[in-house]
Structure 1
Amino acid sequence: MSFDVALVREQFPILKREIDGNPLIYLDNAATTQKPQCVIDALVAYYTECNSNVHRGAHRLADEATRKFEAARDIVKHFINAPKREEVIWTKGTTEGINIVANGLGKLLKPGDEVIATGMEHHANIVTWQQACKASGATFHTVPVTEQGELDLEVYQSLLNSNTKFVAFPHVSNALGTLNPIKELTAMAKAVGAWVLVDGAQGIAHGGVDVQEVGCDFYAFSGHKIYGPMGIGILWGREELLSEWPVWQTGGEMIATVTLQDATWNVLPYRLEAGTPNVGDAIALGEAIRWFSELDLVGAAAHEQALIARATELAQEVEGLRMIGQARHKVGAFSFVMSEGHPADIGFLLDRQGIAIRTGDHCAQPLMNRFGVPGTARMSFAVYNTLEEVEAFFKALRKVQMMLA
């Protein structure tokens, strides 16, 4: 089935909204995506038909909830091509997934060990490793970003050595839209025996990922970045690592036995899923991934590339506009500053015309410092955005420019 953006848009009720009498043009998808009706329906159905805690209930509702909850785990397994369903861990989102790994890493590292991240990270994928190194005495390094907004692979190669124990990098930069060569980056790290985590928050909705093909050890993403609910996400990790990884939280579900003096831990995936899980949102995330997987993903990717290309073309016609990040391979995000107006003012005036974008440092202050700006205005795309919306954005931006001149 060919990709039909009009048919896709019909499935998102919020896109029918108006803002101050203008049709909503939603271009803040790197912050969160909107939800198709089937995802909304799945969440409502859980709470109206089988709301119950999972796994240990001796009644019909608990059985139904458990089956749906674990079926959603299977959907995720197949979508990312995980070898085993037990490797799929439910989290609150990418940040918690990264923290699960970082908390354990801080207990495993020792002085003399080295950790590498990059200069384009979201704070969730840099502060965590900083803290792990501080806790353990390990050394922390970062890979610089070029003027084009790409990682400097020569420097990356020079940082890798026999002391490198862990490497983390984003699949896609949330601030720049840079699509990183994650398979190549992973292979380079594995050549020196390092563990690898990929922050997939921005990459997962732009074609997905095959974790076995990439070869990484951990991959984390958030449900709300791939048309699912907020407050739910995934950490995937290799079974041999997760089975021995220091536990993140203790409590119910994650234990095998408890005495007044000690406790032992449950098997995967439950040893890393302490407490009552977010059952409804997990089921809805499974539905979101099912919905997304049934799209023509090749056609969707081509459509999004056309949006980026048209935005880049029109931006070059706007005097005083500076694009931040012009990587050869980009998806999803387009950041810029203008000589007229602070990004916050640009965002406010666009909102009055019904256009939703994101402004600020995008939780990437080191990256903003690299480009010498306090923040940017960022438009970011999803499968339901159109070329007409890109045209409307730049028409509105010219109006903003005249208002701020």
Structure 2
Amino acid sequence: MRRRHNRKVMIIVNAATNLANFRNEIIEGLLAENYEVIIVSPAGKRLLPYKQKAGCQVIEIPVNRHGKNPFQEMALFMKYFRVMKAKRPICVLTYTIKPNIYGGMAARLLRIPYLVNITGLGVVFDNKNMLQKTIVVLYRRVMKHATCVFFQNKTNRSTFIRLGIGFPCSEIIPGSGVNLEANTLEPYPAENEPPKFLFVARIMKDKGIHEYVDAARIIRKQYPQAEFHVIGNCEFGYEEQVAKWAEQGDIIYHGAQPDVHSFMKKSHALIHPSFYMEGMSNVCLEAAATGRPVITTNWLGCKETVDDGKTGYIFEPRNVTALVKVIKKFIELPYSDKVTMGLNGRKKMENQFDRQLVVNSYMKEINRLAEY
């Protein structure tokens, strides 16, 4: 039995930005209840505030998110194992695939309770190959011993069950939730401004960048004043292609931006044409919280964020014609309807996606473990 004075909680993430953007409220909630928080993350500027915060300890462990070298993967597992053995937290919180699997394996061997968050299935589960089979086998071994598994949508949970990945306890949470204070409701752009659309995501095929650019070309032939902005890091060698699109005037590319909100409030709508295996699209939540209509796909982790025709529009993924149709429909809406659509989205976020709901679910499990 663990002694009651041990109130260490370990959080393992694959990127410092994810920690600061989506896990900060959980960290603050833990500190408020006098837990000691041990953050395990790759290095990054966003870690600095946690290094300076009382009650927080940061341990930097690099993670190659796309790496497949078995020796590197074993080394990552061993690093997680050693730090858990040294710190002996009362529980471990893991996010994304590598922390979930290797962190979960280490915690299981050390008999430390662990809470797993399925933030999405990613491209691995979208392709039936040897890599997917390996991941499924590893998840089967890890998940059946997890204290609780948090799924961000029902489809991900059903996929795990279909693949024979069992778990003793699970809960559906509203994604990572949205911080309603950081993503404040903003006045809608003036009626006489040209329509500005915004794409915010990692630049990759499955996020729908090609559909967005193709739709932009078509729309600008009829509405030449329309602007299509893009924010995000290029992945899988997209730098040259994005530069070409920007040079041709198809899009306005801003690169990665630390303050997306300042761009969001200037836009008329977010377009998120993703067919990526999402958990819950954070950018859709943030746009709706800002009071901006959301145009997104009928796809897991995207469709849940929109009430079609009320807070935005939903279209079929990988379908440029369908995307063009809803963009035209949006442009032709009366100004007052666009404003109302944005306000409806804000109300939906307040009622269904407040990040405090996610924090409460975690605190309930952690407090229960702390009582042992």
Same fold (TM over 0.5): no
Larger RCO, structure (CA 8 Å, separation 6 or more):
1
Give the TM-score, by structure 2 length.
0.29
Give the TM-score, by structure 1 length.
0.27
